[in-house]
Amino acid sequence: MDVTLTTARLVLRQPVMSDAERIARFLDNFAVSGNLSRVPYPYRLADAKGWLRTWRPDTPPGETGFSIQLPGEGLIGHVGFHNDVEGTVIGYWLAQPFWSRGFMSEAVRGALDWYFTATQADVLASGVFHFNKPSLAIQKKMGFTETGLSSRLCLARGEEVRHIDTQLTRTAWAAHR
Ligand SMILES: CC(C)(COP(=O)(O)OP(=O)(O)OC[C@H]1O[C@@H](n2cnc3c(N)ncnc32)[C@H](O)[C@@H]1OP(=O)(O)O)[C@@H](O)C(=O)NCCC(=O)NCCS
C-alpha cells in the first residue's frame, strides 16, 4: 500500500529505488544480517536493487514495507510485513550506527498501530534468533508473547539457527499501546 507514517522522530515511507545505496551500505554488515533470516552476507548494491524491484505500490497491508527515514539523515532501516507459513509476519532492521536510541521501538510501534488499524487481523507473527535479546525486548514491550521454538535458516550464517517464535494478538496490541 502507498502509505506514509509519521512518528515522533521518524518518517516511515514506501521504499524507492534510490534507497538502494544506503540499504546496501547498512545491510552489508554481519552484525545486522546475522540476525535476519533472509538477507545474505556479503550484501551488494545489486542485492538491494533486486529487492527494491519487487516492491509495488498496490500491495495489501500484509505485504507492505516501510523505509525508515530519519529527517536530516536519510534512510536508517526497514520495517515490513510479509506472508509466511505462520501467517503475516513483521520483520525489521536498523543500521548499526543508530542502535540503542529507541528508534526501532518507535518504528515498530508505528507500523503495528497502522497494521491493526488498516486490517481486521486478529494476530501477527514474528520471532527472533535465540541470541537476539534487544529484538525480543522490543517485541515483549509491544505485547508479543513466545509461542514456541523452531529452527530457521539464516542466509548470512549459512546455517539453521534456533528461533524463538512469537505472536501479537490484537487484544495484546491494544493493551500495550
Ligand atoms: C534489534 C534492533 C532492531 C534493535 O533496534 P534499536 O533501535 O537499537 O532498539 P531500541 O533501542 O528501540 O530497543 C532495544 C531494547 O532492547 C533492550 N536491550 C538491549 N540489549 C539488551 C539485552 N542484552 N538484553 C535485554 N534487553 C536488551 C534495550 O534496553 C531496549 O529496551 P528498552 O527501550 O525497554 O530499554 C537492531 O539492533 C537491529 O536492527 N539489529 C540487527 C537486525 C535485527 O536484529 N533485526 C530484528 C530481527 S528479529
Question: Where along the chain do its domains lie?
Answer: 5-175
Q: Which of ligand 1's atoms lies nearest the C-alpha of 94?
A: 39
- Per residue in 71-120, pLDDT (tens digit) is 999 999 999 999 999 999 999 999 999 999 999 999 999 999 999 999 99
- Per residue in 116-162, pLDDT (tens digit) is 999 999 999 999 999 999 999 999 999 999 999 999 999 999 999 99
Q: Which of ligand 1's atoms lies nearest the C-alpha of 128?
A: 48
- Per residue in 26-42, pLDDT (tens digit) is 999 999 999 999 999 99
Terminal CA-CA length for the chain: 23
Spatial neighbors of 126 by CB under 8 A, at least 6 apart, are 89, 90, 91, 139, 144, 166, 167, 168
Pocket lining for ligand 1, CB < 6 angstroms: 32, 35-36, 92-94, 99-105, 128, 132-135, 137-138, 141
CB 113 within 8 Å of CB 177: yes
Spatial neighbors of 133 by CB under 8 A, at least 6 apart, are none
Query: To which residue does cell 529507541 refer?
Result: 102
Q: Which CATH class is domain 5-175?
A: alpha beta
